[in-house]
Structure 1
Amino acid sequence: MIFIWLYPQSLFDVQVKRIHEYKRQHLNVLHIITLYKCLKNDPNLDVPPRTFIFGGKAAPGYFMVKRMIKLITAVGDVVNNDGDIGDRLKVIFLPDYNVTFGQRVYPAADLSEQISTAGKEASGTGNIKFSMNSALTIGTLDRANVEICEEVGAENFFLFGLTNPEVLNLKAQGYVPRRYYASIPELRGVLDLISSGFFSHGDPELFQCVVDNLLYDDPYLLLADYQSYIECQDKVSQAYKDQENWSNMSILNVARMGKFSSDRSIKDYCGKIWNAPPVPIKLKDYVQKEAQLRVNKF
């Protein structure tokens, strides 16, 4: 077992969920490498320390996603052991993540990563759990993110990326991901570093499938959203420096999440789907009946 010392005052940047290409955990990794390169080039860069926390499982036969997990842990091995970086960056992958484990993770998060390609998320409930536990959200306008943004206010939500109509339009025009690689030097440097074997002990082939998938296919438009995501993450870093305002935003996230209570959800299911009208209960009769059942039990 490997133990990693975490800096408690760092920004806990969390993405725990089923691991899939459309959920874009590898976009998160591209940001980590971008930040790592910036800190290596400029050790005096004024950015708050961050701890990136991943968790989740992949389908047994999903090769690309398993290679994404390997990339996460490989980047963590390099970053966590770089003496020049110290406590400024840490990358953690939680093994055997499940719902019970999530009860510890949700309250620990400062930032919730909800970065699926717009139009691809089936519903989204993990983002609601994070927001109810005071984490701020960085995300696209996709499924539950839309409602969360409406409830907490756009000023308390870190929004980035293409919208669903923009995604469809870009694909209809003929999406060419290599254009972003050619036109964004920062992105090119990150992908080239992965291809060089820097994170794979000199083996340039280990993660080449991930890089090639992004350069020649990129079905979930990571490269198209990269620049917007990086710029939004810069806003996150700036916001976290003002702890009083960050706390205020967190409190408002919790206070404005009443819409997502289980009581409201069940009421909507009853009224709109199940057509189950409420049944009035006389509390006095109910209490007496419960008491009698208890007596009969003994």
Structure 2
Amino acid sequence: MENSLNSTSSSKKVNKVHYAFADGASSKRQVASDKVIVEQPLQIKLLWQQANVLETKVFAITMRTPGDDKLLIMGLLFSEGIIASKTDIAVIEVEHEPNQTEPNLWCVQLAQGVVPKLASLEQYQMTYSSCGLCGTTSIKNLELKNPKLPLLVGEFISVNEIYSLANSMRANQQLFELTGGVHGAALFDQSGKLQWLNEDIGRHNAVDKVIGQLLVENEQRVNKLFILLVSGRISFEIVQKTLMAGVSVLVGVGAPSDLAIQAAKRFDLTLIGFANEHSFNVYHGDWRLLS
């Protein structure tokens, strides 16, 4: 039984496949091989003590790239307000099933005295099974989780640092280099130095893994200015996770949604889109940028 929050998984992340293709010049069918990213289901079961009774409930079933599952689980539980720190978790372990070749079923036992709000569990499942709630309800639910960005007076980021972020992340995306089939999320410090990077077939999963690493390092909601960079578009859910982690600056290489911008304004998050080595757009929070 695995107990350590710091252990890493050796699950296979990439498979080799063979495929046929037609060469337009010769009109001949040819066979080649390629590397593709692995996608498998992850089920998360919560256990907790309440009134001397062991309660259990399936929290989520999601598709992900295996590996770093503990980081993903911790980040997801934190961003959804189920836990407030890594100490709220007593045990994270794989529940082995007959004929199971991959650790796809994980059990999380919460620490003594930690009781999840059933409304939060049901809200999460309803949101993701119905592809989201309306904008007003989503922001109100986020307000109830009470995300608070650290007020770092006099802490700024150089505009020049923003230009270099996307290239820095891309240069370190090993799974993307192999397969071209994953999203990336990377955390940078105030000077633009890469702290760590995670990749996954799901953009939300990549962000959850980064947040899980923040929890392991005890860096969540600390008095530091961090930058989170995501490889795709910026949705409301990405903004929510960023806010819950206490990260003040969110940068994407793609566009934000209208609800993402509304949430950034509501919670004073610096939100930047279309970031590359030549330009970027600031949708809110330019006061944190230093020319």
Give me the TM-score of the superposition, normalised by structure 2.
Answer: 0.24
Structure with the larger helix share: 1
Structure with the larger strand share: 2
Give me the TM-score of the superposition, normalised by structure 1.
Answer: 0.24
Over alpha carbons, which structure has the higher Rg? 1
